[in-house]
Chain A
């Protein structure tokens, strides 16, 4: 039901407009085809219809240009990440500077085939010392690889004869393995990583973050066959089109960053961390995934939603090796919904990305205070705004150890019953910062002193002294609030955020900070219940 139109109303409700039955059928057909092309989802025949009409009428050309221009303005308004874009251009320009490299080849040590060394300049380092280091690395890598290769060959997974061309890679980061050192330059055809993780940079600028146990081989510098393990791919400007080939199909990068995980049972998981990819397989044909979407693929089943993905952040000093949060999921059953929850171990901090479907939004401290110490280093669940309208929404996750669960709820609204029943309001607030002026959720918010639009979130908490499952409800308004004549009528709260911090057994905790004192109170309340 639409509101009555007032004289001040500049924008009539398009949803209430009926299509004029007297309007020319040809014009209607053109509008529909053009609309689908602008929306990026044309049907067969749309392009021909639009081209034919545009050739006959300049006015129709202006019409499609007008729609594309409006579409561009709306996308620009939604993203509004001009700072990040300018910074990315700055980085790209600085990368124009070329650097001298030191090259080695490990290939002979592993597969016994001969590859020439690249004729690049050596740096000013001690080449003899580095040669010894290379030999040491080769030996440990050979020993490690032989065990893994043997096991995989026995399982019929690896075909050592099907090897492509060597690719020169630079080692950017190493963790938990002696196979490489940072700064190594190696010619690789195949990569076998039985332990630890490494980041490898390819000549095109593509960054591969490889997590063991992993087996992969290069067909050529823009094509990697992944037999087992997880690879996070971050393509630069020249790397668009980089393809990861898996046992169930290909993942083609169309811009930026994604993760692929191939497991021994033949299932492949693909998550888009930024940008867009295309999945191509015989089972599903071609499927596009965008930022915030993930799927599970197998040879025998249709694609299924992948509910959660661990987000790697190597900038975090991860003192805790065991994850606290497991198996995040929700009860949303819309067709074609592929949103995933990001799990960031030890990821909660000032400035961390808040939502998986809004790359500009960050969690930040309230302006009047520091970022709450009790939240720092908590495991973060990056939720998303998409389903906050669903009144029957439920989000469920499990925890593996005694923990404090935090929910960051939109402070502008009365909290829902499920929150007040099971959680305590700590009295502390943080903010989600970076909302766009046209965002429905941010309506009525005035820019802060720095010109940013921020929504305050109350920090609620609940202590769970045993591993258990947690079920959270929708962020929609409680029954009490639905009866109010709020100035935010028609506008719903932001989706809430979640973090989980492991806690020591109750007897060992003597609270000193406000959060600690609150924790003690929570336990007392729980006992009394």
Chain B
């Protein structure tokens, strides 16, 4: 019983440490934003069930990502649920993720940089012009659809999508500059 408690305590510490990076990884596999938390939670529950199979001292985050990849792969095969974006695109991204998993050093480096990237993002958001900031607010904080944003901005959904595209590119460039990397 004592050992189980210790395991649970240790596991919950890992949940706190890994949850942010895991969610970002799941999104990069093409999962819908509103389903990212679902799949992240499923990943942790499965990891808990299989905790005896994990060797402490090895990369827990990488192990979680393996579980997450399998979950997303299952989602692509299921009928009825629609927790991923365009299926073929997600399949493609999943294959890429499988290839990257054979180079763990890349993943470790990305995980270490995560907190720095989040700080950089916050600084970059503060530097956005007002209209761009309003768009970020509407899309990500208020989770408005493209159509509603378009109506508010008196344009069409396609234009809003393009503006968001340029905005993400601009923020990504800004983050890179903040982190001191030249070029992307």
A residues contacting B by CB (< 8 A) are 2-3, 8-15, 17, 19, 31-32, 34-42, 46-48, 50-51, 54-55, 61, 64-79, 82, 85-86, 88-90, 92-93, 96, 237, 240-241, 252, 254-255, 275-276, 278, 290-291, 334-337, 357-358, 385-386, 389, 436-441, 443, 490
Contacts and interface: CB of A to CB of B under 8 A. Distances in A.
Contacts of B167: 14
B81 A254 contact: yes
B41 A40 contact: no
Contacts of A73: 24, 117-118, 121
Interface residues of B, number: 88
B86 A61 contact: no
7 contacts: A17-B166, A35-B164, A67-B165, A75-B27, A77-B125, A89-B15, A334-B152
Interface stretch (B30-38, B55-63, B101-109): B30-38
Given A11-B124, A69-B28, A440-B137, A82 B145 contact: no
Given A11-B129, A51-B92, A254-B83, A39 B12 contact: no
Interface in B52-109: 80-83, 85-89, 92-93, 96
B181 interface: no
A511 B64 CA distance: 60
A65 B28 contact: yes
B9 to A, nearest CB: 11
A88 B15 CA distance: 11
Interface of B: 8, 11-12, 15-16, 19-20, 23-24, 26-28, 30, 32-38, 40-42, 44-45, 48-49, 80-83, 85-89, 92-93, 96, 117-118, 121-122, 124-148, 151-152, 157-158, 161-172, 174, 177-178, 184
B93 A64 contact: yes
B122 to A, nearest CB: 5
B146 to A, nearest CB: 5
Nearest to A12: B170
A75 B36 contact: yes
Given A37-B85, A41-B161, A334 B142 contact: no
Given A39-B161, A68-B28, 4 more contacts: A12-B170, A86-B19, A88-B41, A439-B137
Given A40-B32, A68-B30, A237 B45 contact: yes
3 shortest interchain CB distances as A-B pairs: A72-B27, A14-B166, A35-B165
B89 A47 contact: yes
Contacts of B82: 254, 278
Contact of A240 (B81, B125, B136, B138): B81
B19 A85 contact: yes
